[in-house]
Amino acid sequence: MVVGKDEIMKPRTDTREYKRIVLPNSLQVLLISDPDTDKCAASMCVGVGSFSDPNGLEGLAHFLEHMLFYASEKYPLEDSYSTYISEHGGRTNAYTSSEHTNYYFDVNADCFEEALDRFAQFFIKPLMSSDATTREIKAVDSENQKNLLSDAWRVNQLQKHLSAEDHPYHKFSTGNWDTLEVKPKARGIDTRDELLKFYKENYSANLMNLVVYSKESLDKIESSVLSKFQEIKTIDRKPPSFPGQPCTSEHLQVVVKTVPIKRGNKLRITWPITPGIHHYMEGPSRYLGHLIGHEGEGSLFYVLKNLGWATSLSAGESDWTVDFSFFKVVIDLSDAGHENVEHIIGLLFKYISLLQQSGVCKWIFDELAAICETSFHYQDKIPPMDYVVKISSNMQLYPAKDWLVGSSLPSNFSPEVLQSILNQLTPNNVRIFWESTNFEGQTDRKEPWYGTAYSVEKITSSIIQEWMKKAPEEHLHLPSPNVFIPTDLSIKNVKDKVNVPVMLRKSEYSRLYYKPDTTFSTPKAYVKLDFYCPFGGSSPEANVLTDISTRLLMDYLNEYAYDAQVAGLYYAISHTDHGFQVTLTGYSHKLKILLETVIEKIATFEVKPDRFYVIKELVIKEYENFKFQQPYQQAMYNCSLLLKDQNWHWNDELEVLTVLGPEDLSRLYPQILSRTFIECYAAGNIEPNEAESMIQHVENVLFKGAKPLSQKLFPAQHLSNRIVNLEKGVNYCYTKEGLNPSDENSALLHYIQVHQDDFKLNIKLQLVALIAKQPAFHQLRSVEQLGYITVLMQRNDSGIRGVQFIIQSTVKGPKHIESRVQAFLKTFESKLYEMPDDEFKSNVTALIEMKLEKHKNLREESGYYWREIQDGTLKFDRKEYEVEALKQLTKAELIQFYDEHIKAGAPQKKALSVQVYATAHSGEEKPDITDYNLVDIEDIFSFRRSRPLYGSFKGGIGHVKL
């Protein structure tokens, strides 16, 4: 066994230990020891992907990725790997990219050894039975079906389609029933034989990189990895390489007009460039992306925004391999921007020309390098599964010393390298993809895999020169130095170390919960202010205008606060059902300055009519595009509408939105703010007096000026978040036609409402969900092949708990799927009744370990505690109580709970079935099943009015001990 000598560069704050080894079969491994971790994880990155698909078998690499999950010679029981992971608190998944396939999982620490052994068998002796082969081709086809109406997938394939046919970039990578079943069969090819051959020829240990993340010492992990992975065969397969460029001259200097599914206008300007990976220490694409994608004063976006032509702009490298790469600028256009595309392209090239003439700026590179360095050394811990995936991918590309760093630390200033990439962004080298629903009927070609309508026009560099000349005279210039770069990264020492949030301050205007950082030792903070404004959600008009006001506030702040985001201090002003929220998270050093600016903008808000109309147009498109959401998302929306009191229908909001003008917002905004209460949470590297002074400042600005903008709430106005209480013993059913007639998917959301937050009931519900999750997936997706999207998950609406099945299908209608859910609940009954005691105890242990899992970073911890504040449950010590309840739970109690609340036909059960059907399934006959007390819901709002509501935790019941 070879041990790498390279010193692996790691963040200064990282206490984990790392070791690189190479097994005798040439498998390269990175071992990570983290004694503090609750979850262990592993990722195997195999250096072969869809570029290696044999001709005429598009999607074979992706199909193989699916097949390895089924069974192996050592563990022949189908789906036993995924079941083991799920029942021990873990998750597992995989993805196939052009040159890599990545498999990964995490699991509770005490089960890691066996999970790792099961995982290793993927790469040693998988079974890939012929029975599973046919079923999983259907799953691949279902996955492709859900992508067919996605604009992101469609334009991605179009970009590939318009490239050299002999380059693998041109291929269709996902696969479908046609490419994996119909066409091979017609040519006398057995897909399973090809699958086995592909595996044998490509899955060689020398092409694999493994990362293993464990609690154990490096020596222990090493011996475990050696025993489990040394049997992977190596055939010393040369890494597949794909030299040459995907775009020849015929694919450059083109404008491609294309018709998207969703309403909107988008411009994607792309150039083939030298892959940044060859110069990752110089970071040319990061440098250019920073400047071309900048949003501060003088930037391209600043100019386009002020002209009312663009609503967002991003720039950077994408779709890259070691051999080729693209630099992309993506601009979301307003309707006015769509009419001025030639000017926009002219301005973009003017800005590029400005960069070329200015030469490379050392101070900008140094500033960027400093931001990257701080970001690397003070990075948050992320879940081990995400971490191992990132590193195993890096191992395919970088020398060992940079496996953790990747391209994230540019440190070599090389004007020549930066200039050479900049010089590739020329009119001669450009591809312009222009998407708009306005092109409907004006195109003459169709992309074969997704059916995307498009047309191609050649342009010359002299045409672009013309556009540059005609573009409006705007003062484009380089950004100013960034004032938000933190210079004080010291950790504040708070005397009272509290493990859960405490209420630090309460007044008639606000309430402040506070928690110092006792875990992460990072110079970061998290501050959330929830403005509860009763007038903000009092009508569809008020709701829509409150939403527009938050977007306008973000819009006005953008050029000032963009630098803060670049420097690692993020902010958002977002619309809620009852007003709006302000969130700030990142380095604590300059957070207070940013918060004070945000509050000042809120207090001095004025409606700028030109910006109002741009934002209004954007919001109208979002509403109009609602119908293009996936059917399962429509089902989730309808379920929320049925359950949540005081919610407006999107159609009603769209109706009022079309007639609202800037004067309506000018009139309403003071009213929205006139009565408000602010719920606050401050956490991290902040001292208690700082947190209090921030909130005091907010109160002074809003409530205590000479002419206060806001007043305290009347007692009757205090927030309540109330949920419909379904009737026991009734199966409610709400059926709706899918909003997009072209979508062949139907969807079912089957919701079982159980109880209002209660420690003992919570853990029973969670345990049933944990035990049933994988069997439901296996039965309904893998065996019955109902659809790619098949999940069983818990649901929590403001403290009202339940479970829901969500299934989307092209093959069956929602009524049939509903009957299969009922059938599953019946068969699951016997699994529960016959469960051996040791298996019951093992599941309880798994759930306890999941509950005791520590938060990885401040943002995750804050999100957890904020949920308690938002719901009004305020059970900050919930985990301890629920773990205690779990330790005392018996199997008989769990079965009694299932029989009472979940079981098919249970007399106490409260169920709601939300069915969204595709046109093809509209004539579906009802399956021959007994409908237990079925009640059809004709109208959402009549139903809501007719049902009693659960009491609200906010401002009352929530303060009672559970």
Q: Give the β-pairing of 502-506 and 453-458.
A: unpaired
- Encode 813-835 in three state secondary structure: CHHHHHHHHHHHHHHHHHHHHCC
Please give the biggest Cα pair distance in the chain: 85
Closest CA to 723 of 789, 639, 831: 639
Backbone angles phi, psi at 50, to 5 degrees: -70, -20
Q: Which of 58, 87, 136, 861 is catalytic?
A: 136
Q: Do 653 and 540 touch, CB atoms closer than 8 A?
A: yes
Q: Which amino acid appears at position 620 of this protein?
A: I
Cα distance from N-terminal residue to C-terminal residue, the chain: 57
Backbone angles phi, psi at 693, to 5 degrees: -70, -30
Hey, CA dihedral for 63, 198, 77, 210, is it positive or negative?
Answer: negative
Measured CA angle at 407 (ends 404, 411), to 5 deg: 105
Q: Do 38 and 854 touch, CB atoms closer than 8 A?
A: yes
Q: State both tokens at 474.
A: 């705007």
Q: Which residues contact 41 (CB under 8 A, 6 or more apart)?
A: 104, 105, 106, 107, 212, 213, 383, 384, 385, 387, 388
Distance CA 323, CA 326 (A): 11
* Number of other CB atoms surrounding residue 328 within 10 Å: 21
3-class DSSP state for residue 248? coil
Strand blocks (E) in 487-523: 502-506, 510-516
945 burial class (0-12, 13-18, 19+ CB within 10 angstroms)?
A: exposed
* Number of other CB atoms surrounding residue 469 within 10 Å: 9
Q: Is 622 a catalytic residue?
A: no
Q: State both tokens at 15.
A: 């206490």
Q: Which residues contact 331 (CB under 8 A, 6 or more apart)?
A: 266, 267, 268, 269, 304, 310, 312, 313, 337, 344
Distance CA 699, CA 694 (A): 9
Closest CA to 34 of 379, 377, 384: 384
Distance CA 195, CA 619 (A): 47
* Packed helices 191-202 and 60-67: angle between N→C axes, nearest 10 degrees: 90
Q: Is 136 a catalytic residue?
A: yes
Segment (H or E) for 464: helix 461-470
**Inter-CA distances, 848 with 239, 688, 843, 886, Å:** 44, 33, 9, 7
Strand order across the beta sheet in which 265-273 lies: 310-318, 325-333, 265-273, 431-436, 254-258, 453-458, 445-446
Q: Which residues contact 492 (CB under 8 A, 6 or more apart)?
A: 516, 588, 685, 686, 687
Q: Which residues contact 359 (CB under 8 A, 6 or more apart)?
A: 415, 419
Distance CA 108, CA 38 (A): 6
Q: State both tokens at 364.
A: 């900008």
Enumerate the active-site residues.
Answer: 65, 136
